[in-house]
Amino acid sequence: MGILASIENAVPITISVCLIAAVLVPLWFFQKKKAEESEAEQERLQGEARPGHALRIWSFFFIFWPLLCLVFAGIIGCQPGRNAEERFRGIAFALSAVLFFTVGMHIQRRVLTERRYATRLTTAAVVSEGKMIHDGKDIFFPEFEFQAGGRSCRVTAASGTGFRLVEKGKKVDLYYAPKDPSVFYVPALQRHNICMSVFLCGIGMVLPLIGLFAPQFRAFFSF
């Protein structure tokens, strides 16, 4: 009971801090956007990278949504009509969502970074499927070989998949960064990463809402 009482006393302070942060984050975001505008435009004109608008939007949501989840957790802790167990369960939903959202956003950042800098299209050969066994399951990290700047480059996929997306000996489209060919992406593989990112971020956005509106859901389905 003492622990629950301490949590309840800390909830108003937590909500206040999170609300202030939720106001300051957009201000910081737009200030940073303005400061980086000239640099991004110079990179774009030089043909070395695409505009970084997507990465700036990513930065905003990467900070804003976890803060909002903390606000949701504080609101759940103060909601009337909930017993201690229901409050704990709702707060757990809101806070566990941060983990799913963070993992999904990290995958999305890698996708956006690859798309920004890997602008040159070429054809690559799949030289290895990179099959590995982890916990009794097959994981594939395919390797590709292509020509960049008159030299041969061999690269390995940064993330593995549980199923074969490309076959050894086949030719695939590959985008690489002119200044650093080790920065690359294969559209056939990146689609899988995008789906994983959307799935994890989706869980991270739905869980806190379930925790927040659990009383309404229970009342609705009780009829």
User: What's the 3-state SS for the chain?
Assistant: CHHHHHHHHHHHHHHHHHHHHHHHHHHHHHHHHHHHHHHHHHHHHCCCCCCCHHHHHHHHHHHHHHHHHHHHHHHHHHCCCCCHHHHHHHHHHHHHHHHHHHHHHHHHHHHHHHHHHCCEEEEEEEEECCEEEECCEEEECCEEEEEECCEEEEEECCCCECCCCCCCCCEEEEEECCCCCCCEECHHHHHHHHHHHHHHHHHHHHHHHHHHCHHHHHHHHCC
If one compares 184 and 137, the residue with the highest pLDDT of the two is 184
Beta-strand relationship, 143-148 and 120-128: antiparallel
**CA 34 to centroid of chain Cα atoms:** 23
pLDDT at residue 4, rounded to an integer: 46
Q: Does the pTM exceed 0.85? A: no
As beta bridge partners, residue 94 has: none
pLDDT tier at 150, thresholds 50, 70, 90: confident
- Rounded to an integer, what distance in angstroms lies between the CA atom of residue 67 and that of residue 22? 7
pLDDT at residue 84, rounded to an integer: 82
If one compares 137 and 198, the residue with the highest pLDDT of the two is 198
pLDDT at residue 28, rounded to an integer: 54
As beta bridge partners, residue 125 has: 145, 171
pLDDT tier at 63, thresholds 50, 70, 90: confident
User: Is residue 41 predicted with pLDDT exceeding 80?
Assistant: no
pLDDT at residue 12, rounded to an integer: 53
Q: Other C-beta atoms within 10 Å of 123: how many?
A: 11
As beta bridge partners, residue 138 has: 133
pLDDT at residue 37, rounded to an integer: 47
pLDDT at residue 9, rounded to an integer: 52
Q: Which two tokens stand for residue 65?
A: 């949504």
Which among 26-30, 43-47, 182-186 has the top mean pLDDT?
182-186
Q: Per-residue pLDDT averaged across 159-167, rounded?
A: 83
pLDDT at residue 86, rounded to an integer: 83
pLDDT tier at 42, thresholds 50, 70, 90: very low
